Amino acid sequence: MTHFEIRAKDGLARLGRFTTKHGTVKTPLLMPVVHPGKSVIKAPELVSHYGFQMVITNSYIIRSHERFRNIAVEKGVHELLNFSGPIMTDSGTFQMYFHSLPDEEIDPLEIVEFQKSIGTDIGTILDVFSDPKVGKTKVEQDMKISLERAKLSVDMKEDMMLAGTVQGGSYPDLREISAKGLASLDFDVHPIGGVVPFMEQYRYADIVRATLAAKKHLPPDRPVHLFGCGHPMFFAQAALLGCDFFDSASYAKFAEGGRMLHPTGTIHLNQLNELPCDCPVCSNTTAPEFKTLDKTERDLQLMKHNLYVTSAEMRRVRQAISEGKLFELAATRARSHPALLEAFRVMMEYSQIMIDSDPIGKTSSIFYTGSETVMRSEVVSFYQRLYELYPYRNTNTIILVPDNANRPYSESASIIIDEVRRRKPDDLILLFVTPIGIVPWELEHVHPAQQGVFPETIDSSSLEIVQQRLHKFLDSISFENLLWFRRNAATNALSDSFKDSGKIVIAETASDLIGAIDDKPDEKQDWIKRKLRAVLTYQWGPEVASMVNLEGLSIDISRSTGKIRHVRLGSEIILTLVPTTGLFTATYEGGLQLLKHGLDPKYIVRLDDEVREYVADGKSALAKFITHAHPNLRAGEEVVVVDSSNTLLGVGKALLNGHEMIAFQRGVAVNIRHSKKS
Ligand code: GUN
Ligand code: ZN
């Protein structure tokens, strides 16, 4: 039984809820490390004043000191910390490594037993922390010992939740073996261990590789904890990689050394003439004043600053996930240090893992953050679908209209579009050359084609990708003539790459362009049906495109925007176009039509008959009742929900991807929009 549920996704990040015996917490989450004796700021204050939800303490330290041990064993760890919220305990692994303690110092099973006996909410196995200086053979040995201990420990966890740590150093193949082994055991949380030295040496790229290697094999319904990551400059990126838990001893350690944590890096108080921070501590003093405090008071104030700042950054991360804006936050943070940017670029190499997890149909805009923007999963996934599913591959003329960074394209190019639409669609394909690449007119409103916010000038590496996408797409179309409207300096150069083809005509003005298109009037207004077919195919596959030919089908167009609003069958609405995503939602009748027209099984989610009536009444389809979901189904898709005999119960938006729908035992899998009875 897992205790985790997902409320929203963004990249590999999850906005979640994790339930313990001492309460439910929101993830991603940061746990401050508290020492039962030394911590000046106690657990209750960390919650009430700084906004933390859970703390982590060390069972080895508790066990090693008689006065802590006695209280913890007699009254429990919650009493010891005077804290009634969720508590995680670590096992002493890090102390073994840091102080080079002998193996006999901690018995791996006894320490699990001890954590159980003090009533911790989440205990941790005694994994082996590999020194980054040792070779691969030793790291492999350590990882295997960790795995052996994991097997023995998990059998004795009883009703304590247990964290099974992934080890394997900087070797992704070892991380994979470790994660696979742990995945088959009944753990509740999976820390990524052994990364503290990488963090200290700014080897963030190694952390990215290690984390993604582990994520590949870890069950999606267990939170992943990036052990020892307490620096806010990496929170956004780590969350984007799918890390749900973080812990921070850094807030105290850095303070002790006179250093302030910021989401953009570390600054030593001595270097400051100003306090570049708006936390309550920094707002109430000045840099010169701060420096005059005696060490004890200064450390305390620095610690408070560090707590305010790290807590706020984690809230920022959660907010960004809920807005679908975590990529932008991580991209911004990546500019704080070259090592972070390096790590960010390494992450971009794993685009398929990101695409498989990232929800489709986001409503937020895509802000240009740099040349990586055109390789974002939303954009790459748009092109994967476009190449595969654009339905029009034969034409006489292709018209290329460069985007001039003003949205919507249809407004900035309205004269041309109006003229084009007076002509027979079968003879023309109208394409926009945009900063993300080529966008067919029919799909201009589909996210992220319309929702990209770019500067007027395009950087050269993005331009190169735009050119590749343009050529790849045109290579898939058979055409006679290419008309290029040269109205944008940045993309004009791209037209040169067609010079040798002998097919291109350059138009310098809109009237030149219009003059060059044959005037074959479109009396039937087939452009709108053409758009409908393209969006249906893009969204649900080629089979359902035949819905366009249904007897009695009509399309409502918005007078103000010219966009499709509804598709009706007779007088009944079957589909509605969502302006922010450019994709359809279906009504119950729409769902029936999709099924009747051979909807791709990817978009069909099957549910246990036991809860058939709930969903038919319009309640959400919960993950624990899903009996079948396609492994390639992405979160965010509009899906139909059926019972075991394929009766349609409702239609709605998938919150999880296919894998997650099967794995999760808590939370909503499909948000039902329309159902059989409502
Ligand atoms: N704290 C920081 N890193 C680690 C790790 O690798 N394992 C454990 N158990 N605790 C840690
Ligand atoms: Zn501050």
Q: Which of 59, 143, 145, 165 to mutate to test the pocket of ligand 1 (most atoms within 8 A of CB)?
A: 165
Distance 47 CA to ligand 2 centre (A): 18
What letter would DSSP give residue 359? P
Domain 370-515 CATH superfamily: Uracil-DNA glycosylase-like (3.40.50.10630)
DSSP 253: H
The model's pLDDT over 564-593, given as tens digits with 9 standing for 90+, comes to 999 999 999 999 999 999 999 999 999 999
Which residue's C-alpha comes closest to atom 4 of ligand 1?
193
Task: Give the per-residue pLDDT at 299.
Answer: 98
Ligand 1 centroid vs 396 CA: distance in angstroms?
64
Closest-CA residue to 604 (of 632, 582, 576): 632
Q: Which atom of ligand 1 is nearest to the CA of 92?
A: 9
pLDDT band per the 50, 70, 90 thresholds, residue 489: confident
The closest ligand to the CA of 229 turns out to be 1
125/190 Cα distance (integer angstroms): 10
Q: Does domain 8-354 have CATH number 3.60.21.10?
A: no
- In this structure, what is the dihedral angle of CA atoms 150, 152, 157, 161, given to the nearest 10 degrees? 10
Atom of ligand 1 nearest to the CA of 124: 9
User: What amino acid is encoded at 494 in this protein?
Assistant: L
The letter for the amino acid at 649 is L
DSSP line for 291-328:
HHS-HHHHHHHHHHHHHHHHHHHHHHHHHHHHHT-HHH
Which atom belonging to ligand 1 lies closest to the Cα atom of 163? 9
Ligand nearest to the CA of 312: 2
Which pLDDT does position 503 carry in this prediction? 79
CA 89/CA 56 separation, integer angstroms? 5
Q: Whose CA is nearest to atom 5 of ligand 1?
A: 193
Which residue CA neighbors atom 8 of ligand 1 most closely?
Answer: 93
- Distance between Cα 400 and ligand 1 center (Å): 56
Query: Within the chain, what is the greatest distance between any pair of CA atoms?
Result: 92
| Residue from 58, 93, 99, 247 whose mutation best tests the ligand 1 pocket (most atoms within 8 A of CB) | 93
Q: State the Cα–Cα distance between residues 645 and 626, nearest whole angstrom.
A: 14
Instruction: Give the end-to-end CA distance of the chain in Å, rounded to a whole number.
Output: 33
Q: What is the pLDDT of residues 391-408, one digit of tens each?
A: 999 999 999 998 766 655
Note the pLDDT tens digit of each residue in 100-137. Answer: 999 999 999 999 999 999 999 999 999 999 999 999 99
- Measured from the alpha carbon of residue 97, the closest ligand is 1
Q: Which residue CA neighbors atom 9 of ligand 1 most closely?
A: 93
User: Has residue 422 got a pLDDT over 90?
Assistant: no
The rounded distance, in Å, linking the Cα atoms of 218 and 243 is 12
Within the chain, which residue ranges are assigned CATH 2.30.130.10? 535-675
Centre of ligand 2 to C-alpha 336, Å, is 18
The residue whose CA has the least distance to atom 6 of ligand 1 is 193
pLDDT tens per residue across span 435-478: 999 999 999 999 999 888 888 888 999 999 999 999 999 999 99
Identify which ligand lies nearest to the alpha carbon of 280.
2
- Best mutation site among 227, 245, 247 for ligand 1, i.e. most ligand atoms within 8 A of its Cβ? 227
Q: What is the pLDDT of residue 492?
A: 80
- 304: CA distance to ligand 1 center in Å? 24
From 58, 90, 253, the mutation candidate for ligand 1 (largest count of ligand atoms within 8 A of CB) is 90
Annotated catalytic residues are 90
Answer for the pair 528, 555: CB distance below 8 angstroms, yes or no: yes
Residue 23 confidence (pLDDT) above 70: yes
Mean pLDDT on 345-356: 96
Among 605, 604, 584, which residue's Cα sits nearest to residue 596?
604
In the predicted structure, residue 377 carries a pLDDT above the cut 90: yes
Percentage of residues in the chain with pLDDT exceeding 70?
Answer: 99
Helix intervals (H) in 104-248: 108-117, 136-154, 172-183, 196-200, 204-215, 235-240
Calculate how far, in angstroms, residue 285's C-alpha sits from the geometric centre of ligand 2.
Answer: 10
- Mean pLDDT of all residues in 609-633: 97
Q: How far is the CA of 319 from the centre of ligand 1 (A)?
A: 28
Question: 2.30.130.10, 3.40.50.720, 3.10.129.10, 3.20.20.70: which CATH number matches 535-675?
Answer: 2.30.130.10
Output the CA 473–ligand 2 centroid distance in Å.
51
What pLDDT does 451 receive? 85
Measuring from each residue's beta carbon to the nearest atom of ligand 1, which residues come in under 6 Å?
Answer: 90-91, 93-94, 124, 127, 129, 165, 193-194, 196, 227-228
Closest ligand 1 atom to residue 125 Cα is 9
Q: What is the per-residue pLDDT across 158-209, written as a single tens digit (0 to 9) for each?
A: 999 999 999 999 999 999 999 999 999 999 999 999 999 999 999 999 999 9
Whole-angstrom distance, CA of residue 526 vs CA of residue 518: 17
Ligand closest to 255 (CA) is 2
- Give start-end residues of each CATH 3.40.50.10630 domain in the chain: 370-515
Q: Where in the chain is the domain with CATH 3.20.20.105?
A: 8-354
Nearest alpha carbon, ligand 1 atom 7 = 193
State which ligand 1 atom lies nearest to the alpha carbon of 193: 6
Size of the chain, expressed as the number of residues it contains: 678
